[in-house]
Amino acid sequence: MKPSKYFVTGIDTDIGKTIISAILVEALEADYWKPIQAGNLEESDTQIIEQLISNKQSHLFKETYRFKTAASPHYAADVEGIPINYNKFQLPETNNNLIVEGAGGLFVPLTKNHLIIDLIHKLNLPVILVSKNYLGSINHTLSSIYALQSKKIPIAGIIFNGGYVKSSQDFILKYSKIQSLGNIPKIKHISKKSIRVYANMIKELLI
């Protein structure tokens, strides 16, 4: 069976992509790659994933770029005097399933000429879109879907993170005709155990 490879992106910043990525990595016993980390180098997203998964199959690849500055990648690169070479972003070689996690939302500047959505297109991966219920989230979710579809980027499904709001989720799914891959409630105590519980819950939807 061909390995499953997905790019995880969100409808906004701080939407819970890393927690969802941990759940996906655990569900698929997948490898993980964060192409670029800007800020929080002491507790990077890769380190968080490592702390939250239980399986022994997953391999965590090094980021292509790491910046101390907590900002959009293009600005962090300018501040630290480290130019980002767009051509350096290449999918890691692996025969395993793979989860790739983006930075922020689709229109976060990666370089002076490229956005995160351009990187997704370059890597040629289907997207798992992380949504969250808040005022304006319908607009943000449908706008993200429209942007991905306009670039002919396939969307494997939507994961709703946080509290469940039936009317919003029903509208998004009916209007977009994108499948739901599950609803992850707000996790009070994030741990290996809780990640494993939700990984088991959505596993059958991914395989």
Residues noted as catalytic: 34
Query: Which tokens belong to 18?
Result: 């890393």
Whole-angstrom Cα distance, residue 167 to residue 156? 22
Q: Quick one: the chain helix, strand, coil %, rounded to 5?
A: 40, 20, 40
C-alpha gyration radius of the chain? 16
For residue 196, what are the CA distances in angstroms to 92, 116, 117, 125, 201?
A: 25, 29, 29, 25, 9
